[in-house]
Amino acid sequence: MTEAVESAETSPDPSVDELFDKVYSSPAANASTWLPSEPEPKPDPGAESESTAKKASPASAESASTVDKLRISPLARKLAHDNDNDIDIDIDLDSVTGSGPNGRIIRVDVDAAIAAAAEVIPLSKIRKVTAKRLTQSQDIPHFFLTNGVEVDRLMVLRREVNEGLATQGVKVSLNDFIVKAVAFTLRQHPEANVSFNGDSLLRHPRINVGIAVVTDAGLLVPVVTDADRKSLSEIGAEVVALASAARGSKLTLDQMSGGTFSVSNLGMFGIDEFTAMLNAPEAGILAVGAASPELKLLGGELVEVQKMKITLTVDHRGSPCDGWCDSGRLPA
């Protein structure tokens, strides 16, 4: 039906346009167009001039009203004022130039007016920086490594650790364990704690793990410095403080500088698996998904295990992963 109407709207044939107007005009107009009219009484010659003078103005107004009504198709008018399709835009039809026959406003004209009414939202400084750095990240040759890890024992360990820390009013999350595990792995494999530097690599003596935090202002990555030297409770307390400062726009430059590796965890939002973009100049970032139950064949029986998908994004220019894979000693 919509295609038929659109075809009628854009047709240059005056007869088609006239028929369209008759169909969608008011009931009174329809009646006067399609039904035979009664014979009009002959006018009184003596009152002809007076009658003409009295009726001239209303006739002109009616003609102008009809012309004004016919300059927009019913479909275009409905689209312009329809808020049922999440289009909460009030289109000023008087400012729309029609492209249909005789300057008629048709659907394409209203669509163009709606597109032109898009709201322009200036980027915050944080979003500008984020956009610039992520665009630069796309130019870095990189690759992804995805694996599924069972976390049943990790979840039991977390519960036991939190029970031991209950008297201190401290709780650690699965993400805190992941940050600690990443820092430990980088300490064991310092060749991965690097960044590309043109014709050389920078091997960093400190292990500083960035934590991706989503805020209303944009994506921020505060840094847990010397994460390999801190306890789980210290990492947990610091991550909570950094995330709170990030969401309150109170992070300092020092708290966002010096990262050598990053962790992005969307598991708490129910995301099963994703790939994260490099936070240049860091050579790697670990994307962490949600832990979910899966069936596993163990000893000839199906058992339920909690499994988590993790994906490592690596800068290929300075990555030791090609050597790890060739030697068969990729870290677990």
Place of tokens 């201190």: 168
Nearest to 208 by CA among 127, 154, 279, 144: 279
**Dihedral angle sign, alpha carbons of residues 270, 274, 278, 284:** positive
- The distance of Cα 41 from the centroid of its chain, to the nearest Å, equals 69
Eight-state DSSP code of residue 105: B
Phi, psi of 296 (to 5 degrees): -135, 140
Cα separation, 81 vs 93, in Å, equals 10
Annotated catalytic residue within 81, 142, 189, 316: 316
Across 20-165, the runs of DSSP E, i.e. the strands, are 142-150
Active site residue 142: no
Angle at 127 between CA 124 and CA 129, to 5 degrees: 110
Long-range contacts of residues 213-219, Cβ cutoff 8 Å, at least 24 apart: 213/242, 213/243, 213/246, 213/247, 215/126, 215/246, 215/247, 215/249, 216/247, 217/124, 217/126, 217/127, 217/249, 218/124, 218/126, 218/127, 218/130, 219/126, 219/130
Largest separation between any pair of C-alpha atoms in the chain? 115
State the CB neighbour count (10 A cutoff) for residue 112. Answer: 13
Helix (H), strand (E), coil (C) string for 148-192: EEECHHHHHHHHHHHHHHHHHCCCCCHHHHHHHHHHHHHHHCHHH
* Main-chain dihedrals φ then ψ at residue 33, nearest 5 degrees: -90, -45
Q: How many CB atoms lie within 10 A of CB 328?
A: 6
List residues with catalytic annotation. Answer: 316
